[in-house]
């Protein structure tokens, strides 16, 4: 326990020092994206990894947060930090509605995945047609650099905000793993009926999980808009965000604290290195990326963390066996 | 402790449970027996909130719990086990039992400590940190029992916790159930292992084709003509009496 805290403090210290050492805008941007998608994956992980409810439409929360942020700034002149609170609320509400409707009627597994996908698609179509979202042309937020306005002249500013989000998401996951709430989420994931027989309000817990996931992804939407100054229906509600959120969790390890973070780091490293290394063969990087994905999924069904754990267990077993033999 | 009044449930045209009433007095071990398909598990499911009855009421310690949410019934102190065991396979034995313990204990540490304590009562201590997926049939049955016990129930509904066990294992479970009762928990159990039922229970209800056909002390039930007929077929009781009087029967 004390060692974990020490490791955490050292890691955080190093992470804080990164912008002082890394001056390259390219690398800082990449690191920021790694943290950001790790954060989004972390929100997916609460619902998909711990509660076992696979969302395929995580963009519904993210996009709502992004649009709420942009619209409140443009139409009411609201400060983006304040708008973030509304984005969190918006994400929570979308989570509550989707969760209530699907869990009330007992949708599970692939049905739940499909209904979340359907919701994000409906929202995408609405955003494409509605006036307030400026249709398919999207929204550009007013530029006004400064910490107070959640816009930074240097990449380091965004890096620090993404790092804060990451720390929050890791803390939430850690809290879930060490609480009754989290234990009950996992019980629901493993066997809903057995959980209910043991006093777990399965409906309530799933609803709480999707609401928390929605809140976190909503805040992620704010971050995205403030970093890129722009949002449109395809970015906000398209499948890219949904897939990325679940992919980093699955690659890293579902239902683990560090899984989504690790998955995001690995996926972005692989994605970017293949793109950098294969500039003369267009499309080849995606092929390689795909092959690597398949290999990871084939040989590490429990993600990188799961693979590392079983490796550690095997090594420990061998060491234990050697000790008892000697 | 528990009063079931005129409970009925139909599936399509089949009356699975037909106007069943029964009572379980506090501190007792009551058994519910009957041939396969008699409606025992359906009755359990209705008592524990897993099935909504078509008619009738279930009153537990003065509270009408008919149609109440499953987790609320558990919180009130009535907990069931499943005939087909339902372990949380991705969790360890300790974590499995802790889920039950969390009904009364909010803190993780307390629930995990309680899990270790309950594991000792059902003799699962050695497997505490193993994944539940690695348990044997006997181990899984005990885990089912342990999780239910960890909720600190007033009334425990056990659905065939001895099915598929060896005689030695069955004997251990019999002792575990006796110890549970001695600790102040009332027990209602469904069981096919007759020897165990006869030794354990003070009161037996016999269900056949969805109806209670007899109830009483084990000795009365064993000699009850309708019970013998339900199990062995029409006319069996008469034949047994006949063979017993001619001295050719072996007494089973």
List the one residue out of B95, B85, B230, B87 whose CA is nearest residue B165. B85
Mean pLDDT of B205-234: 85
Task: State the residue for tokens 């251990």.
Answer: B172
Determine how many CB atoms are found less than 10 A away from the CB of residue A20: 8
The answer, yes or no, to whether residue A326 has pLDDT greater than 70, is no
What's the pLDDT score for residue A4? 79
- Which two tokens mark A195? 């959980």
Which carries the bigger pLDDT value, residue A43 or residue A308?
Answer: A43
Q: Can you tell me whether residue B16 is helix, strand or coil?
A: strand
What's the pLDDT score for residue A39? 97
Contact across the interface for A196 and B103, Cβ inside 8 Å: no
Mean pLDDT of B31-58: 92
Contact across the interface for B108 and A183, Cβ inside 8 Å: yes
- Specify the range with the lowest mean pLDDT, choosing from A20-24, B58-62, B154-158: A20-24
- Which two tokens mark A131? 């006036």
Q: Are A107 and A99 in contact (CB under 8 A)?
A: no
What's the pLDDT score for residue A323? 45
Mean pLDDT of A268-278: 80
Mean pLDDT of A201-227: 97
Contacts of B50 in chain A (CB under 8 A): 193, 197
Q: Are A62 and A273 in contact (CB under 8 A)?
A: no
Class of A21-325 per CATH? Answer: mainly alpha
The answer, yes or no, to whether residue A294 has pLDDT greater than 90, is no
Taking the C-alpha atoms of residue A243 and residue A154, their distance in angstroms, rounded to an integer, is 29
The answer, yes or no, to whether residue A166 has pLDDT greater than 70, is yes
Taking the C-alpha atoms of residue B156 and residue B47, their distance in angstroms, rounded to an integer, is 11
What b-and-e string marks burial along B188-216, b requiring 16 or more CB atoms within 10 Å of the CB? bbbbebeebbbebbebbbbbbbbbbbbbe
Which carries the bigger pLDDT value, residue A129 or residue B236?
Answer: A129
Mean pLDDT of A214-228: 97
The answer, yes or no, to whether residue A54 has pLDDT greater than 50, is yes
What's the pLDDT score for residue B3? 95
Mean pLDDT of A146-152: 88
What's the pLDDT score for residue A320? 53
The answer, yes or no, to whether residue A325 has pLDDT greater than 50, is no
What's the pLDDT score for residue B247? 53
**CB under 8 Å to B56, separation ≥6 — which residues?**
B4, B5, B6, B7, B8, B19, B20, B21, B66
What's the pLDDT score for residue A318? 63
The answer, yes or no, to whether residue B226 has pLDDT greater than 90, is no
Mean pLDDT of A223-244: 94
Contacts of B146 in chain A (CB under 8 A): none
Mean pLDDT of A49-60: 95
Contact across the interface for A184 and B48, Cβ inside 8 Å: no
Contacts of B81 in chain A (CB under 8 A): 197
List the one residue out of B68, B118, B61 whose CA is nearest residue B95. B118
The answer, yes or no, to whether residue A254 has pLDDT greater than 50, is yes
Contact across the interface for B50 and A178, Cβ inside 8 Å: no
Q: How confident is the model at residue A324 (pLDDT cuts 50, 70, 90)?
A: very low
Residues of A in CB contact (< 8 Å) with B are 178-180, 183-184, 186-187, 189-191, 193-202
Q: How confident is the model at residue A124 (pLDDT cuts 50, 70, 90)?
A: very high
Taking the C-alpha atoms of residue A275 and residue B29, their distance in angstroms, rounded to an integer, is 70
Q: Which chain A residue's Cα is nearest to B86? A: A194
Chains A–B, number of C-beta pairs less than 8 Å apart: 77
What's the pLDDT score for residue B221? 86
List the one residue out of A176, A236, A239, A213 whose CA is nearest residue A41. A213
Q: Which of B47, B51, B70, B144 to mutate to test the interface with A (most CBs of A within 10 A)?
A: B70
Q: Which chain A residue's Cα is nearest to B80? A: A197
Contacts of A201 in chain B (CB under 8 A): 69, 71
Q: How confident is the model at residue B249 (pLDDT cuts 50, 70, 90)?
A: very low
Q: How confident is the model at residue B250 (pLDDT cuts 50, 70, 90)?
A: very low
DSSP character for A161?
Answer: H
**CB under 8 Å to A258, separation ≥6 — which residues?**
A170, A252, A305
The answer, yes or no, to whether residue B41 has pLDDT greater than 80, is yes
Taking the C-alpha atoms of residue A8 and residue A20, their distance in angstroms, rounded to an integer, is 20
Q: Where are the domains of chain A?
A: 21-325
Distance, in angstroms, between B9 CA and closest chain A CA? 20
| Half-sphere exposure at residue A245, Cβ-oriented, CA atoms within 13 angstroms | 33
Taking the C-alpha atoms of residue A115 and residue A109, their distance in angstroms, rounded to an integer, is 10
Contact across the interface for B91 and A194, Cβ inside 8 Å: no
Q: Which of B49, B65, B71, B147 to mutate to test the interface with A (most CBs of A within 10 A)?
A: B71
Q: What is the average pLDDT score of chain A?
A: 90
Q: Percent of chain A scored above 90 by pLDDT? A: 67
Distance from first CA to last CA of chain A, Å, rounded? 30
The angle subtended at Cα A160 by Cα A154 and Cα A166, nearest 5°, is: 145
Mean pLDDT of A178-206: 96
Contact across the interface for A193 and B69, Cβ inside 8 Å: no
The answer, yes or no, to whether residue B224 has pLDDT greater than 90, is no
Task: State the residue for tokens 């049905």.
Answer: A111
Q: Percent of chain A scored above 70 by pLDDT? A: 96
Q: What is the average pLDDT score of chain B?
A: 90
Q: Are A214 and A61 in contact (CB under 8 A)?
A: yes
Which carries the bigger pLDDT value, residue A50 or residue A295?
Answer: A50
Q: Which of B41, B95, B102 to mutate to test the interface with A (most CBs of A within 10 A)?
A: B102
Contacts of A187 in chain B (CB under 8 A): 88, 91, 99
Mean pLDDT of A3-24: 87
- Which two tokens mark A227? 């970093």
């Amino acid at each position: 326990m004390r060692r974990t805290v020490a490791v955490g403090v050292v890691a955080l210290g190093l992470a804080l020092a990164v912008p002082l050492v890394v001056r390259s805008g390219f690398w800082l941007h990449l690191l920021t994206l790694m943290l950001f998608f790790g954060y989004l994956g972390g929100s997916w992980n609460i619902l998909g990894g711990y509660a076992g409810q696979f969302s395929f439409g995580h963009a519904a929360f993210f996009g709502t947060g992004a649009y709420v942020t942009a619209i409140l700034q443009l139409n009411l002149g609201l400060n983006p930090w304040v708008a973030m609170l509304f984005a969190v609320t918006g994400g929570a509400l979308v989570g509550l509605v989707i969760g209530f409707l699907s869990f009330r009627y007992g949708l599970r597994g692939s049905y739940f995945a499909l209904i979340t996908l359907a919701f994000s698609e409906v929202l995408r179509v609405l955003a494409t047609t509605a006036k307030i979202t400026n249709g398919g042309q999207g929204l550009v937020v007013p530029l006004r650099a400064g910490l107070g306005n959640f816009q930074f002249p240097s990449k380091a500013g965004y890096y620090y905000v993404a790092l804060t989000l990451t720390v929050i998401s890791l803390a939430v996951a850690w809290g879930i793993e060490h609480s009754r709430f989290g234990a009950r989420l996992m019980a629901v994931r493993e066997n809903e009926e057995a959980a209910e027989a043991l006093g777990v309000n399965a409906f309530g817990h799933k609803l709480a999980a999707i609401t928390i996931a929605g809140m976190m992804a909503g805040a992620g939407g704010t971050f995205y808009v403030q970093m890129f100054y722009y949002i449109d229906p395809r970015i906000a509600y398209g499948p890219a965000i949904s897939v990325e959120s679940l992919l980093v969790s699955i690659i890293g390890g579902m239902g683990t604290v560090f899984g989504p973070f690790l998955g995001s780091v690995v996926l972005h490293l692989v994605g970017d290195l293949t793109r950098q290394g294969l500039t003369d063969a267009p499309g080849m990087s995606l092929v390689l990326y795909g092959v690597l994905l398949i290999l990871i999924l084939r040989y590490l069904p429990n993600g990188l963390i799961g693979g590392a754990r079983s490796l550690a267990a095997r090594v420990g077993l061998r060491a234990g066996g050697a000790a008892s033999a000697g | 402790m528990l009063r079931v009044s005129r409970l009925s449930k139909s599936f399509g045209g089949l009356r699975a449970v037909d106007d069943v009433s029964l009572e379980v007095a506090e501190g007792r071990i009551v058994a519910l027996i009957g041939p396969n398909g008699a409606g025992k598990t359906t009755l359990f499911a209705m008592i524990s909130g897993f099935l909504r009855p078509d008619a009738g009421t279930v009153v537990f310690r003065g509270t009408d719990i008919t149609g109440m949410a499953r987790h609320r019934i558990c919180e009130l102190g009535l907990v069931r086990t499943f005939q087909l065991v339902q372990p949380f396979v991705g969790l360890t034995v300790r974590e499995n039992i802790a889920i039950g313990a969390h009904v009364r204990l909010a803190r993780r540490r307390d629930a995990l400590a309680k899990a270790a304590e309950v594991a000792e009562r059902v003799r699962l201590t050695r497997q505490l940190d193993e994944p539940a997926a690695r348990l044997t049939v006997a181990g899984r049955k005990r885990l089912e029992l342990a999780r239910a016990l960890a909720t600190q129930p007033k009334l425990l509904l056990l659905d065939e916790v001895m099915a598929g066990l060896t005689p030695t294992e069955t004997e251990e479970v019999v002792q575990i159930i006796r110890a549970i009762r001695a600790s102040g928990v009332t027990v209602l159990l469904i069981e096919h292992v007759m020897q165990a039922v006869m030794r354990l229970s003070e009161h037996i209800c016999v269900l056949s084709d969805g109806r209670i056909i007899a109830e009483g002390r084990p000795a009365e039930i064993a000699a009850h003509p309708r019970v013998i007929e339900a199990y062995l077929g029409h006319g069996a009781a008469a034949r047994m009496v006949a063979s017993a009087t001619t001295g050719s029967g072996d007494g089973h």
